[in-house]
Amino acid sequence: MKPRVRFAPSPTGYLHIGGARTALFNWLYARRHGGTFILRIEDTDQERSTPESVQAILDGLKWLEIDWDEGPGVGGPFPPYTQMEKLGRYTQVAQQLIDTGWAYRDYTTEEEVAAARRAFAQSKGITDEKELRSAGFKFTSPWRDKRDVKDGPFVVRFKMPAREGTFGFEDMVLGRITKPFEDLDDFVLLRSDGVPLYNFGCVVDDHDMQVTHVGRGQEHINSTFPQLMVYEALGWAPPQFAHFPLILGPDREKLSKRKHPEADVMRHKQNGVLPHALSNFVMRLGWSHGNDELFTRQQLIELFDFKDVGHSSGVWNPDKLSATNEHWLKQSPVDDVAARLLPFLHSAGVVSASLDDKLKKGVVCFRERSKTLVEMAEKLVPYYAHGVTLDPAAAAKHLTADGKVMLGKAREFLQGVSTWTQPNLEPVVDTLASATGAKKGAIAQPIRVAATGGTVSPGIGDTLELLGREEALYRIDLALK
């Protein structure tokens, strides 16, 4: 049977880097096995969910080139793919659970539960409001064994059977994971407003959408147990589970949107990181294939497997992300890099830039000298300008009387170059060197300073070609005056 996997984000903000990796792992698993990748929006937290967030997540996935076979925008055989659009379904399943004795209506108010929790916590010496949930409180509702139906709001709670021992599941990355039955309590299935909670909506949807494998972050390990109980109560076969390690910030704290700006996928786009570089980097954080580090998208599809996912949390390493980006900047097709570079060049002020030969030449010249597309664009700006401002120190050092004599000879040589390309321009250095006996540096540097204003640039032939005949000779003449 072909696997059906899903990514089920909660639209409460931008696409988080951890979520992106979860999506990628699942997507890769689907592609590897010819399965289906489903995107489902879990927007039942009405306090925090926003349409803007849905769009942000969609945009993030698209940028990472993660496409979905079923979900928002593309539809599929088991709609809707947004939870708030199928509230009736949850109510129906909840009723079924009530009818079979696996759940009950609990008329206890939220405030009453909170008060009970607070009282319990205080009895254990905990008064800090934030620590209340750490007290190990297990709510026992007075409605647990009643079947009354009365007026007023109620939540539907799962009725945990009293059992001895432990139960668990076989995790595809971590192996056997178990928990004592007694650690579970009567969790809420449906809020008083009829909206399902995670542990219920998730199960209903995964079943309805015929999901076969649930791959998600390790923070969900503990929620797997109540979910397993819901599957049992409904008589549904649970999917296979795979829990992925978390990503920690450079400070070793869990990567959070609040504290870590790098948690935002699109921030990396803005920073000039290639989507595949981000994918490659984030893949290696928690998954490995022997000693290999760099993978093409195709290799990732051929090699990825849940069994090779690591067990422990990984720390975000900006240096390695940069190195990975530098690698793909150099390895990706020139046209692709040029197309992605163009917007950065535009926002750097070069409105005239277009996807032409000059841009591609610029990519070839500067992709070995840039860590990001932002940096590449910045370095390219002067090559699109008319004229240059000479760096005083550089001019003083290289545009001396001797330097200008050499520059004059170079000008003569360049004047005679018929086709203004690197192979034809590059010999200016060697030719003059053997003709005059001067060191190459004494020839190249004056040209470089004249052409770029500074002492740093690609090889002379490349630099001159990038500038173009007219502009290059113009700048040299300027320096010669």
Stretch 267-286 residues interacting with RNA (CB under 7 A): 284-286
> Of 64 and 173, which CB lies nearer to RNA in the complex structure?
173
Q: Would you count residue 246 as binding RNA (CB under 7 A)?
A: yes
CA gap 285, 219 in Å, rounded: 16
Q: Would you count residue 360 as binding RNA (CB under 7 A)?
A: no
- Site for RNA (CB under 7 A): how many residues? 90
Q: Would you count residue 397 as binding RNA (CB under 7 A)?
A: no
> Of 139 and 474, which CB lies nearer to RNA in the complex structure?
139
Among 6, 7, 10, 403, contact with RNA (rule: CB under 7 A): 10
How far apart are CB 300 and RNA at their closest, in Å?
Answer: 15
For residues 312-341, which are near RNA according to CB under 7 A? 312-315, 317, 319-320, 322-323, 326-327, 330
> Of 292 and 356, which CB lies nearer to RNA in the complex structure?
292
> Of 54 and 346, which CB lies nearer to RNA in the complex structure?
54
Specify whether 257 is catalytic: yes
Q: Would you count residue 266 as binding RNA (CB under 7 A)?
A: no
Instruction: Give 33's Cβ-side CA count (13 Å radius).
Output: 18
How far apart are CB 468 and RNA at their closest, in Å?
Answer: 18
For residues 456-475, which are near RNA according to CB under 7 A? 456-461
Choices 20-28, 136-144, 332-340, 384-392; region in contact with RNA by CB under 7 A: 136-144
Among 87, 113, 301, 405, contact with RNA (rule: CB under 7 A): 113
Q: Would you count residue 123 as binding RNA (CB under 7 A)?
A: no
> Of 291 and 418, which CB lies nearer to RNA in the complex structure?
291
Secondary structure of the chain as H, E, C letters: CCCEEEECCCCCCCCEHHHHHHHHHHHHHHHHCCCEEEECECCCCCCCCCHHHHHHHHHHHHHCCCCCCEECCCECCCCCCEHHHHHHHHHHHHHHHHHCCCEEEECCCHHHHHHHHHHHHHHCCCCCHHHHHHHCCCCCCCCCCCCCCCCCCCEEEECCCCCCCEEEEEECCCEEEEEEHHHCCCCEEECCCCCECHHHHHHHHHHHCCCCEEEEEHHHHHHHHHHHHHHHHHCCCCCEEEEECCEECCCCCECCCCCCHHHEHHHHHHCCCCHHHHHHHHHHCCECECCECCCCHHHHHHHCCHHHECCCCEECCHHHHHHHHHHHHHHCCHHHHHHHHHHHHHHCCCCCCCCCHHHHHHHHHHCCCCCCHHHHHHHHHHHHCCCCCCCHHHHHHHCCHHHHHHHHHHHHHHHCCCCCCHHHHCHHHHHHHHHHCCCHHHHHHHHHHHHHCCCCCCCHHHHHHHHCHHHHHHHHHHHHC
Query: Which one of the listed residues 179, 257, 360, 397 is annotated catalytic?
Result: 257
| CA 428 to chain centroid | 47
> Of 67 and 110, which CB lies nearer to RNA in the complex structure?
110
How far apart are CB 351 and RNA at their closest, in Å?
Answer: 26
How far apart are CB 119 and RNA at their closest, in Å?
Answer: 13
Q: Would you count residue 175 as binding RNA (CB under 7 A)?
A: yes
Q: Would you count residue 412 as binding RNA (CB under 7 A)?
A: no
Among 59, 208, 232, 293, contact with RNA (rule: CB under 7 A): 293
Q: Would you count residue 71 as binding RNA (CB under 7 A)?
A: no
For residues 177-196, which are near RNA according to CB under 7 A? 177-180, 183, 187-188, 191-193, 195
Q: Would you count residue 305 as binding RNA (CB under 7 A)?
A: no
> Of 30 and 121, which CB lies nearer to RNA in the complex structure?
121
State the binding string over 21-50 for RNA (x if CB under 7 A, else -): ---------------------x-xx-xx--
Catalytic residues: 257
